[in-house]
Amino acid sequence: MVVRLSKILLMAAIALWLALVAFGNLTDYGSNWPFVQHVLAMDTIFPGAGIHYRAITSPWLQRAAYALIIAAETFAAILCSLGAWRLWRTRMGRSETFHRAKRLGVLGVTTGLMLWLGGFMAVGGEWFGMWMSSQWNGLESAFRFVVVLLAALVYLGQRDDPLDE
């Protein structure tokens, strides 16, 4: 039962974390907006880099990208919240039932991984050359998100011992 409770609390904490990230971007839109603009515009990467042709300078496309980021954060937070709730509801059930209840949480964590690993590290870091920017390099933060979410996914995915059924 202790392991089940730890998985529920972990999922709830991740849901809270992701919800606060999304809430921050919604209520303080301007804080991270310059980051998105500069990464997409590629205006702070090495001047001689041969990848400047990839830059997105259209304000409309930049805003669409930021909206997609916020939507993914929100979606991941909602899925993790629902996942925590489902785990809570099945905490006293059979191990198979509890394991099946992890699905929404797994989807939420995976959504977060796709955002920070696929979106920030792969697309932002490599395609837009974010790693070349000394001012607008979010790879360290993205890596922190990826490590936490990946560890949670591994732990959450482990099967649980049956309770005294």
Centre a 10 Å sphere on the Cβ of residue 17 and count the other Cβ atoms it contains: 17
Q: Is residue 17 predicted with pLDDT exceeding 90?
A: yes
Q: CB atoms < 10 A from the CB of 100, how many? A: 12
- pTM for this prediction: 0.93
Give the model confidence (pLDDT) of 39-51 as tens digits. 999 999 999 999 9
The answer to whether the beta carbons of residues 157 and 98 sit under 8 Å apart is no
pLDDT tens by residue, 129-158: 999 999 999 999 999 999 999 999 999 999
Average pLDDT, the chain: 96
What is the tens place of the pLDDT at every residue in 61-81?
A: 999 999 999 999 999 999 999
